[in-house]
Structure 1
Amino acid sequence: MSLSIDESLELTVTAPMSATTADVESVLDSRQEWILEKLYGLKDQEGPPYPKEYLTGEKLQYRGRHYPLEVVAADVPQPELSFDDQTFWLRVHRFDADGDKVSVRRKRQAVVDWFVKRAEEELPERASHFEPRLGLEEVDIEVGEVDGRWGEYDNRTVRLNWRLILAPVRIQDYVAAHELAHAVHNDHTDAFWNTVGSLIPNYESRREWLRLNGETLTV
């Protein structure tokens, strides 16, 4: 018996003719974690088809909105990104103004550094709003690279993927609530989802958004 999920989120179960409904239900129960991983995780998502070169006219995504990027030459040893609530400004040395691979890497690193710093400042604060509602204390909230996932919970520590700072705030809240709920329930049981639902009543639509748009959350 095998399971597959296509891009439209349709689950297909292939079973022998001799399989009963109980057999299928048993397999679905045993593969619940895999199914949720496919719906919630990043492993099957691909990057955007057109990687950025960090040139004037491109856009950067922040908290669910896209803002224009302006690249200006300046007396700086390394590229530096700033934001004035309307436009992203990337100050670069004149030798970084062209689109060669080294310059693109240097500019991208400056962009990543800015977003990681902003994520470290904002995401823990959003997650902390849910702790009192779950009766939690002293849960560490860390932000950084989380391989193949948007977040994880382990030993009273929530780790959030820094790229969530690109997503709408409502999506950030969903992931934070999801991971904090694991402090109460280890597995994705009905009780777990009820807990998530008590924090985020419409979590299904947010989970769906993340599944369909997660690949766009990249700099």
Structure 2
Amino acid sequence: MELNYKIVFSRRKTLTITVERDRSVVVTAPTGTSPQKIHQIVESRKLWIYEKTRHAQKYNPLPHPPGKELITGESLLYLGRNYRIELVEGSGEIRFEQKFIVPRMLANKSPALRNWFIARAEDKILPRVAMHAKNLGVKFKEAKIGYGKYRWGSCTPSDNVILNWRLIKSPMFVIDYVLVHELAHLIEQNHTPRFWNIVRVQIPAMEKAKAWLLKNGVLLEQDL
């Protein structure tokens, strides 16, 4: 069976293989690595790759329901809890006061609430990257909020940390786990026992966070 994979070249010194949550395979290789060498390494790890693609946490896109409707009485997930939506008359901005107060004129404009979540992600998630980097003793180039669907975070070959805006729906201990997970790749590029020990020391609730993402990942993937 032919194994399809995407190759990304980087200035890092070692080759890594990642199986994404949508089952796609990404090979990050040092610049200049020959295609033959990459193919040889991928072939040697084929059994491991197939096992990973069959893992319960990996899945193909599922047919989601249309998502939340912006109507009074509906609820939205924010920082791990569901909060009620209340539509109000008039114009203005979306407000959060232990419930989502949404001007009725924005109710049919789906980007409005998504943009609110993205802004909260920038305010609440990005500052924590520097805090965790200091605790780990690592340096990153830039932290950004990303718009992908099947990766909660990534650490790029240029040492940028990218976090999915959908993470703002999850509890803070889950957000911290994802941040530390990505930053730990600046110390250990592969998911070795050493890597997981680094993450676990910083995030004692690591297994709880992984279980939360496994259970609620599909909900996070919805735009609302």
- Of 205, 213, 216, the residue aligned with 1:213 is 216
Q: Secondary structure at the match of 1:143?
A: strand
Matched, 1:190 2:190: no
In structure 2, relative to structure 1, the CA distance for the partners of 1:171 and 1:60 (3 Å cut) is same
| 1:63 match | 79
Q: CA RMSD in A?
A: 2.7
Matches within 5 A, 1:1-219: 31=48, 35=52, 38=55, 44=60, 46=62, 48-49=64-65, 51-75=67-91, 80-84=93-97, 86-93=98-105, 103=108, 106=109, 108-154=110-156, 155-217=158-220, 218=222, 219=224
1:138 and 1:186, CA in 2 relative to 1: closer, same or farther beyond 3 A? Answer: closer
CA deviation vs aligned residue, 1:31-59 (integer Å, no higher than 9, x gap): 25972895666x53536435222000101
Contact 2:88-2:103 within 8 A present in 1 as well: yes
C-alpha distance in 1, partners of 2:45/2:208?
A: 22
Q: Secondary structure of 1:207's match?
A: helix
Question: Which 4+ runs in 1 deviate beyond 6 A?
Answer: 26-29
Mark the runs of 5 or more structure 2 residues left unpaired by the alignment.
2-42
| 1:44-88 deviation per Cα after TM superposition (whole angstroms, max 9, x unaligned) | 353643522200010111100111101122146xxx32112x111
Mean CA deviation greater in 108-117 or 141-150: 141-150
Work out the percentage of aligned pairs sharing the same amino acid: 34
Which is greater in Rg?
Answer: 1
Q: Is the 8 A contact 1:45 1:215 kept in 2?
A: no
Q: Secondary structure at the match of 1:131?
A: helix
- Please report how far the alpha carbon of residue 134 of structure 1 lies from its aligned counterpart in structure 2 after TM superposition: 1.7
* CA–CA distance in structure 1, aligned partners of residues 122 and 54 of structure 2: 25
**Structure 1 unaligned blocks of 5 or more:** 2-25, 98-102
Greater relative contact order (CA < 8 Å, ≥ 6 in sequence)? 1
Q: 1:131 to 1:39 in 2, by over 3 A?
A: farther
- Aligned residues between the structures: 180
